């Protein structure tokens, strides 16, 4: 077994290899504090016949034993991946995928397994570093290494790898991955921070990443295996030239067709024509080679047109945003709805309001928690003119929904301000680039249409990059074609004040600080432009909720009174619900939410609860019932569960020999509170009221 150590941020990073998972092509155990991750990689030795792409699969899995827990549910074992596991799998995949060499087509699988969960809250970052290191010491071709850290900003300070105790209240929380020279991935959320702070945070993270990459190089030099020979099948230059001669001018005409489906259909026909014309050898099928050469021509022409002509496939300039239209309130029975259209991308977003019973329970290694704001993203096949089976949401859909949710979450009012559970569903009806950012815009409009008092509207925009011969061109509001053929996918959400979420993936070796800075400032310009278009449709949240939404009325009681409202075995609260038909949620703090579409019923329930928890007030007059008689006086119930002593001397204006000379059990009388002692005991007087009447 080999053990290596280095300092990262405020702690020690340890990498061990040679003891666990020894039959994998590469395996390491990465440790930081009490958190340990096993990262393994295996690549098939042979390439499957006909494979012309890189089949990489990356999975992250959390073992509940890592936190000393037994899984919930009937089967008591880990089941399908949780949303966190899916998102972390994507987080690991994205920075390492671009660093495999072109032409490497062996099926490859990386698995990161959380073995021990500590308060460091760093398993995702360790998984990226561990996967990179496992690849570095293996025989698998890999142009790494990659390092990763999480960086937060709180109380004016940047924090490397904030732990669980520091996560709450961070104004910035991003994951950054990179090589020694470049940043290759950034993802995270923020509370309306500036572009300058984001850049400073990424710079700070990159300084630590460089140390991690250097550390991996040292490990590779000491124990790394020789890399397997990479056999690259070169395209026949004669065939490639024949394809260019045949279709070059026609492709130039096709790529400037503005309509996506028309453009793609024209290119598909042209590709098929090239295959028919040039695939003439009866002994060798060269259709894939011809299609590959066709793709190379298309990619070169699209990129060349942007670089040299400053013109994009749909005719826009690099900094130009597509036409935007939007509508709100288009679905009559929903609580809030919006259709946001940008070019050929459409998001139909619908907001639904619920009660505390609708909150999502999260059973994670960190402990149980409840989620009251959810955003779900769906991408049906018809949105891109395809026919596919409808399945459960895939990794892409979960990732896009999480990004949009992260962008809007800082603007959601607190539970005290707006005691509703909020769910937004974004159905993508048409897609040609940046559907996740259209989701942010549509969801914001739907929330305002539903009357959710968000702190500020949020817009999102996707940026792209074409980098040829060191000459970068940044693209605002990218098309699907530009995402596919470009070098960067860069998404930013935010308000007029600042950034709320950020995601960047690079398809080249990485980007430098200058490009990142310009892209961020261009994204701000685009974001503000889109916000202006959104505000033209609806500028502030509606003052009233939909008539179809539940009404929630809040009240605060003393926590010690909760059991009186609930009653023995829940008898009292069940009685209130049965009598009024409302839904009642009581929190440990004493906050009570009463939900009903009938305001009168809600007010009745509120009055009943007030009667239960009410306390006697000094000098206040009550109508009470005599519930007990003693020699020295009577006990009068003035409120439910609240009795006061009416001394014999305070019953009448005349002297009484016996209490029963004036009162009997069950009598209803008016009394005045004349004293409440330190123990909360109440003394009453009837005599004072009788005197006043005389």
- CA proximity to 348, closest of 443, 437, 421: 443
Give the residue-averaged pLDDT of 296-309.
88
* The two structure tokens encoding residue 488: 């960067």
Dist. CA 264–CA 619, nearest whole Å: 83
Task: Report whether 666 contacts 679 (CB < 8 A).
Answer: no
Which among 212, 194, 148 is positioned nearest to 175, based on CA atoms?
148
Q: Which domains does the chain carry? A: 2-223 (3.30.230.70), 237-309 (1.10.10.400), 324-537 (3.30.230.70), 551-613 (3.30.1370.10), 621-693 (2.40.50.140)
Tell whether the model's pLDDT for residue 474 goes beyond 70.
yes
To the nearest 10°, report the CA torsion of 292, 296, 299, 305: -150
Mean pLDDT of 663-675: 90
Across the range 294-319, mean pLDDT stands at 89
pLDDT at residue number 694: 59
Mean pLDDT of 650-666: 88
Query: What's the confidence (pLDDT) of residue 640?
Result: 76
The pLDDT mean for the chain works out to 91
How far apart CA 347 and CA 377 sit, in angstroms, is 9
The dihedral sign for the CA sequence 664, 665, 669, 675: positive
Q: At 129, is the pLDDT very low, low, confident or very high (cuts 50, 70, 90)?
A: very high
Nearest CA among 273, 254, 147 for reference residue 210:
147
User: Quick one: pLDDT at residue 300?
Assistant: 87
Which two structure tokens, joined as six digits, stand for 602?
């809600």
Summarised one tens digit per residue, pLDDT across range 219-245 is 999 999 999 988 776 677 888 888 888
Amino acid 185: pLDDT = 93
Tokens 């001394």 identify what position? 647
User: What is the reported pLDDT for 89?
Assistant: 97
State residue 597's pLDDT score.
Answer: 83
Element (H, E) at 111: strand 108-116
Residue pLDDT, tens place only, 183-230: 999 999 999 999 999 999 999 999 999 999 999 999 999 999 999 988
pLDDT at 19: 94
Q: Which residues pair with 147 in a beta bridge?
A: 178
Q: pLDDT confidence of 575, banded at 50, 70, 90?
A: very high
| 510 — pLDDT class (breaks 50, 70, 90) | low
More confident residue, 591 or 471: 591
Please give the DSSP secondary-structure letter assigned to residue 107. -
Range 55-75 average pLDDT: 90
pLDDT at 73: 75
**pTM score, two decimals?**
0.86
Of 364, 372, 361, nearest to 420 by C-alpha is 372
């Amino acid at each position: 077994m080999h053990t290596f150590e280095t300092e990262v941020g405020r702690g020690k990073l340890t990498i061990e290899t040679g003891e666990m998972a020894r039959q994998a092509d590469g395996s390491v155990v990465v440790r930081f504090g009490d958190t340990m991750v096993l990262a393994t990689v295996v690549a098939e030795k042979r390439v499957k016949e006909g494979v012309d792409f890189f089949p990489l699969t990356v999975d992250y899995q959390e073992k509940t034993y890592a936190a000393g827990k037994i899984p919930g549910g009937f089967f008591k074992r880990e089941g399908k991946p949780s949303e966190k596991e899916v998102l972390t799998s994507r987080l690991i995949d994205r920075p390492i995928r671009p660093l495999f060499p072109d032409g490497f087509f062996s099926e490859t699988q990386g698995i990161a397994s959380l073995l021990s969960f500590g308060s460091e809250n760093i398993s995702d970052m360790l998984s990226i570093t561990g996967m990179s290191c496992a690849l570095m010491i293996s025989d698998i071709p890999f142009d790494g290494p990659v390092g990763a850290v999480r960086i937060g900003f709180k109380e004016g300070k940047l924090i490397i790898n904030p732990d669980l105790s520091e996560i709450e209240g961070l104004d910035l929380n991003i994951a950054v991955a990179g090589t020694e020279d470049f940043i290759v991935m950034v993802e995270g959320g923020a509370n309306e921070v500036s572009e300058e702070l984001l850049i400073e945070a990424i710079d700070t993270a990159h300084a630590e990443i460089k140390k991690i990459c250097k550390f991996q190089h040292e490990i590779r030099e000491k124990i790394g295996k020789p890399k397997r020979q990479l056999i690259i099948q070169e395209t026949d230059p004669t065939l490639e030239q024949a394809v260019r001669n045949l279709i070059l001018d026609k492709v130039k005409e096709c790529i400037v067709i503005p309509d996506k489906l028309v453009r793609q259909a024209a290119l598909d026909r042209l590709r098929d024509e090239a295959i028919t014309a040039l695939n003439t050898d009866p002994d060798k099928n060269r259709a894939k080679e011809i299609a590959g050469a066709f793709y190379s021509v298309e990619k070169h022409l699209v990129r060349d047109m942007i670089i040299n002509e400053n013109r994009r496939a749909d005719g826009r300039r690099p900094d130009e945003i597509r036409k935007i239209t939007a509508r709100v309130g288009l679905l009559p029975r929903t609580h809030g709805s919006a259709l946001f259209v940008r070019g050929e991308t459409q998001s139909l977003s619908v907001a639904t309001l619920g009660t505390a019973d609708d909150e999502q329970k999260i059973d994670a290694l960190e402990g149980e928690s409840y989620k009251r704001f959810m955003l779900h993203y769906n991408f049906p096949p018809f949105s891109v003119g395809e026919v596919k089976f409808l399945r459960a949401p895939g990794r892409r859909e979960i990732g896009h929904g999480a990004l949009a949710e992260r962008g809007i979450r800082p603007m959601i009012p607190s539970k005290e301000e707006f005691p509703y559970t909020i769910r937004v569903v974004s159905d993508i009806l048409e897609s040609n680039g940046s559907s996740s950012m259209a989701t942010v815009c549509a969801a914001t409009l739907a929330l305002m249409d539903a009357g959710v008092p968000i702190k500020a509207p949020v817009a999102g925009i996707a940026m792209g990059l074409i980098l040829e011969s060191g000459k970068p061109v940044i693209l605002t509001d990218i098309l699907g074609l530009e995402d596919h053929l470009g070098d960067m996918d860069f998404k930013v959400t935010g308000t007029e004040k600042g950034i709320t979420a950020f995601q960047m993936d690079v398809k080249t070796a990485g980007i430098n600080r200058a490009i990142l800075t310009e892209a961020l400032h261009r994204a701000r310009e685009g974001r503000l432009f889109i916000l202006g278009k959104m505000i033209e449709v609806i500028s502030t949240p509606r003052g009233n909720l939909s008539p179809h939404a539940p009404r929630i009325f809040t009240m605060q009681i003393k926590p010690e009174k909760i059991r009186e409202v609930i009653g023995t075995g829940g008898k009292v609260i069940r009685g209130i619900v049965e009598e009024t038909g409302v839904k009642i949620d009581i929190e440990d703090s004493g906050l009570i939410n009463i939900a009903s579409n009938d305001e009168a019923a809600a007010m009745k329930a509120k009055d009943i609860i007030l009667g239960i928890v009410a306390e006697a007030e000094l000098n206040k007059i009550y109508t009470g019932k005599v519930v007990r008689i003693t020699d020295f006086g009577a006990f009068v119930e003035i409120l439910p569960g609240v009795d006061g002593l009416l001394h014999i001397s305070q019953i009448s204006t005349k002297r009484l020999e016996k209490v029963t000379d004036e009162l009997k059990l069950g009598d209803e009388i008016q009394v005045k509170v004349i004293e409440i002692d330190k123990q909360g005991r109440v003394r009453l007087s009837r005599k004072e009221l009788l005197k006043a009447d005389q």
